[in-house]
Structure 1
């Protein structure tokens, strides 16, 4: 049986003219042989609209970064202590997503990168991270764990798709990245 061709990640044509950020989707095999994906829970901070949310490690590009790939590696090291340049194997890039700056309505492009982790679990969280969680992929992909999160806006309450795990809620951009990652993983594992 032929493999379904994978859709190329979408690159926004105007991304170089906008503020850029990147994140790392990091997966590993656990001791039981199952795959799991790393998430951080953002620290609670006044004025941060995503305070306490589940996310992938990452952040905005800085002047010293050679590009979004380098920013994902740097931000992961800063936020979690995990050194992707030593223990991470880069696999692929996912589609660009557009969001806004935390406190402004200016658009920002976020590029996700997928890595396989083969290093130790020595986390050294910085002030931006409340906790680090490995979540089994079987849980993340199971239909019974998909839910809806109400999100109040000044125009009314939106019902946002999400995945729930032990009191955590993965939604928004992180949920969109997760869904693309799971589709890619499913496509390459089919016979």
Structure 2
């Protein structure tokens, strides 16, 4: 069983107004025998017209629904729907990471995203739905190596912007996913 005991002591930043805006939640899914070497699971979002994050690398997740009992439940439900990975039965909950502020997909209103970390104890089978075009496990030693960090330029209505990213076999992890990844790696290194 993976040991992520260093996460048990972590106290994430929680945005005080999170209950008053649209909320979403994602799952950082870890597999491996030890916390020092293992892999994290990412999806490549399906390419869709009008989706500003079409084709981007991400952690599985989505918006909270009224039927969800918590943001953790949302991450688990959305992961099952998008990937077939059943965190209810084959995931061991580890910890919550800090809330992140972003915007709602279809409008400029604020949205808070809460990441949750799980240790995966199931098999390697993935069953993607229409929201994901690829599922991939990426080694933590690769993700934590500074040599694989880069930048990504994006055209925006206000001009070109440059963002930090991590590149892996033609994939590019940037934006919120990159921020969550960096928080996870910082805490892993300090643990």
Query: TM-score w.r.t. structure 1 length?
Result: 0.92
Residues paired across the two proteins, number? 182
Matched with 1:118 is 121
Which of residues 140, 144, 149 is equivalent to 1:141? 144
Task: Say yes or no: does 1:95 pair with 2:98.
Answer: yes
Please state how far the C-alpha of 1:154 moved relative to its aligned partner: 1.7
CA distance in 2 between counterparts of 1:19 and 1:103 reads 12
**1:82-132 superposed Cα distances (whole Å, 9 cap, x missing partner):** 000111111110000011111100110000000000101121100000000
Per the alignment, in what secondary structure is the counterpart of residue 39 of structure 2? strand
Query: Structure 1 residues 150-159 or 14-23, which shifts more?
Result: 150-159
For residues 39-118 of structure 1, the aligned pairs below 5 Å read 39-118=42-121
Task: Say yes or no: does 1:158 pair with 2:176.
Answer: no
Please state how far the C-alpha of 1:153 moved relative to its aligned partner: 1.2
- Runs of 4+ aligned residues of structure 1 deviating over 2 Å after TM superposition are none
Please state how far the C-alpha of 1:7 moved relative to its aligned partner: 5.6
- Structure 1 unpaired stretches of 5+: none
- Structure 2 unpaired stretches of 5+: 1-5
Matched with 1:12 is 15
**1:39-72 superposed Cα distances (whole Å, 9 cap, x missing partner):** 0000000100000000000000111111211000
